[in-house]
Amino acid sequence: MKKLISAIIGLLVVCGLLAFGANHLERTSGSTGAKVLNLYTWGDYIDPGLLKKFQKETGYHVNVETFDSNEAMFTKIKQGGTSYDLTVPSDYMIEKMKRAHLLLPLDKNRLTGMQNYDSRFMNLAFDRHNRYSVPYFWGTLGIIYNDKFVKPGSIQHWDDLWQTKYHDQIMLIDSARDVMGFSLASMNKSMNATDPATLLAARNKLNRLSPNVKAVVADEIKMYMIQNEAAIAVDWSGEASEMLASNSHLHYVVPSEGSNLWFDNLVIPKTAKHFKAIYAFLNFMSEPKNAAQNAEYIGYATPNAPAKALLPKSIRNDRQFYPSDETIRHLQIYKDLSPAKVGLYNDRYLEFKMNH
């Protein structure tokens, strides 16, 4: 008993020390206090060097908190109890948040860098006149292949994936909209189709792909492809750019018949409190120099036109990640479908996964 009590006291002392230590570290790094900005973003989605620069220039300390899916972020913001100033949802999620009245409109008079954004990426259906959102990064969905196993140039279209010679060689990203989406695109159907019969046809076509599917995985795809674990993968361009950087045998193709075009935009959720800091940050990030630095660090495509011009030629002219206007014209942005329709997509997708 005496031993137990001394053990408890010992642990409590340790707890006290831990609390003191953590508190001390947080105070010295300035994450508490009035001059802060609470940024809620994807993991590792901003160059830490820029955050330091921002603090130096404006005095605002940025607290970064991270999420790993749009939906999880939505749940947190909807429930409240938090105080996020800025967050980075994708296109369809912006629409959904708008509809749920979770966003505050931008005060255009306080924004100085909006003219820097490429007009192709402004005024899109998910946010007309950019009332709520400022573009952050954009990209596509496509096919990554390894030229050790696949002849360069032999994969150009979605239908190429169905060839029997790719038995047990393809990895798919675990996302209902994207997997169902490329099946739809391969049939020249809209990637926002909601007609039950069309979705059933898309699932049947996916079931025929099953013998070729090695695994349905998430972020790990990147590691697998770098390790030459699979010959082919379907994934987003941002992930692909990181794979290509680590393995020179990999190539990225956006099928010309159509694919998904996605955006991650900065928005102000209704939980925001530090408006001066928010606008300082939005303006800071739209400066071409900063946007270019961020794009080089993250490896995604920047919507900031003068920033793109600042990037090294090899990146700027890379057709894999900055596709031609012709290809872009064939790309489709996901719409925020009604919950019942999203449910339809997921049920068909789950059936495909059960089958595979």
**In terms of CB distance, is 66 or 112 closer to other proteins?**
66
Residues 234 to 263: which contact other proteins by CB under 8 A?
Answer: 242, 246
Which range touches other proteins (CB under 8 A), out of 79-87, 141-149, 259-267, 272-280? 79-87
Residues 121 to 160: which contact other proteins by CB under 8 A?
Answer: none
Least distance from other proteins to the Cβ atom of residue 171, Å = 8
The end-to-end CA distance of the chain, in Å, is 57
Question: 10 Å Cβ neighbour count for 249?
Answer: 16
Task: Please give the Cα distance from 31 to 305 (Å, whole number).
Answer: 33
Using the structure block, give the residue that is written with the tokens 């509809």.
Answer: 99
Using the structure block, give the residue that is written with the tokens 């994207």.
Answer: 178
Question: 10 Å Cβ neighbour count for 38?
Answer: 22
Structure tokens at 58: 């404006």
204 near other proteins, rule: CB under 8 A: no
Least distance from other proteins to the Cβ atom of residue 311, Å = 20
Structure tokens at 35: 């001059």
Which range touches other proteins (CB under 8 A), out of 28-36, 143-151, 252-260, 275-283? 28-36
The amino acid present at 271, given as its one-letter code, is T
- Whole-angstrom Cα Rg for the chain: 23
Which range touches other proteins (CB under 8 A), out of 73-81, 196-204, 307-315, 318-326? 73-81
By CB under 8 A, name the one of 56, 109, 188, 339 that touches other proteins.
339
Task: Please give the Cα distance from 130 to 128 (Å, whole number).
Answer: 5
Please say whether the beta carbons of 220 and 149 come within 8 A.
Answer: no
By CB under 8 A, name the one of 22, 125, 200, 309 that touches other proteins.
22
Task: Please give the Cα distance from 83 to 77 (Å, whole number).
Answer: 9
**In terms of CB distance, is 147 or 351 closer to other proteins?**
351
The H-or-E segment that residue 265 falls in is: strand 261-269
Least distance from other proteins to the Cβ atom of residue 190, Å = 20
Q: At what angle do helices 91-99 and 70-79 cross, to 10 degrees?
A: 20
**In terms of CB distance, is 85 or 127 closer to other proteins?**
85
Least distance from other proteins to the Cβ atom of residue 74, Å = 8
9 near other proteins, rule: CB under 8 A: no
Least distance from other proteins to the Cβ atom of residue 121, Å = 22
By CB under 8 A, name the one of 63, 133, 183, 259 that touches other proteins.
63
Residues 161 to 200: which contact other proteins by CB under 8 A?
Answer: 168, 171, 174-176
Residues 275 to 294: which contact other proteins by CB under 8 A?
Answer: none
